[in-house]
């Protein structure tokens, strides 16, 4: 049980860490202006698109399997005398499916990162930071930038 918990936490942390790189640009390869700005080749775009389509199909199946198992679990738990063994077994199956989904998404992001050159990754991160600044979230996430009037006063 302890190994399972550690594995799940590690997987979650890794997923969140890698996912942050693509959080602002979930389908960045579809943005022709961004593709040009980063300098992606047609081969890179096709590779990323193929990876994304495959993972989307896999995620649909995993989400459906998870939902079905959750319905089964609810059915067991709604009984007057629920079977603890079956309930625990289903919870383990659900957690494995969720772990499989996170691993698949993580592998997708790693593969996409390997498809890009280091310069393209840097450019993507730079664009992400610029867009975050324009939206007012800033790199530190301290909220919106001050209104333009205050900016003018600060300059004077």
Helix axes 84-115, 2-22, angle to 10 degrees: 30
- Read off the pLDDT of residues 132-142 as tens digits, 9 standing for 90 and up: 888 775 555 45
Whole-prediction pTM: 0.62
- Read off the pLDDT of residues 69-110 as tens digits, 9 standing for 90 and up: 999 999 999 999 999 999 999 999 999 999 999 999 999 989
Give the C-alpha separation, 156 to 154, whole Å: 6
- The domain segmentation of the chain, as residue ranges, is 2-123
5: tokens are: 């918990």
Percent of the chain that is helix, strand, coil (3-state, to 5) = 80, 0, 20
In 3D space, the residue among 70, 55, 67 whose CA is nearest the CA of residue 19 turns out to be 55
């Amino acid at each position: 049980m302890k190994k399972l918990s550690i594995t799940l936490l590690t997987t979650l942390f890794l997923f969140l860490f890698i996912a942050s790189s693509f959080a602002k640009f979930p389908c960045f390869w579809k943005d022709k202006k961004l593709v040009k700005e980063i300098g992606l080749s047609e081969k890179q775009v096709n590779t990323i698109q193929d990876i994304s389509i495959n993972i989307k199909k896999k995620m649909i199946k995993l989400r459906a399997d998870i939902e079905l198992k959750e319905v089964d679990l609810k059915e067991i738990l709604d009984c007057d005398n629920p079977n603890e063994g079956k309930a625990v077994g289903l919870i383990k199956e659900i957690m494995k499916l969720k772990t499989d989904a996170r691993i698949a998404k993580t592998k997708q992001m790693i593969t996409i990162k390997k498809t890009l050159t280091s310069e393209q990754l840097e450019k993507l991160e730079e664009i992400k930071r610029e867009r975050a600044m324009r939206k007012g979230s800033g790199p530190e996430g301290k909220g919106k930038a001050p209104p333009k009037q205050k900016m003018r006063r600060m300059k004077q």
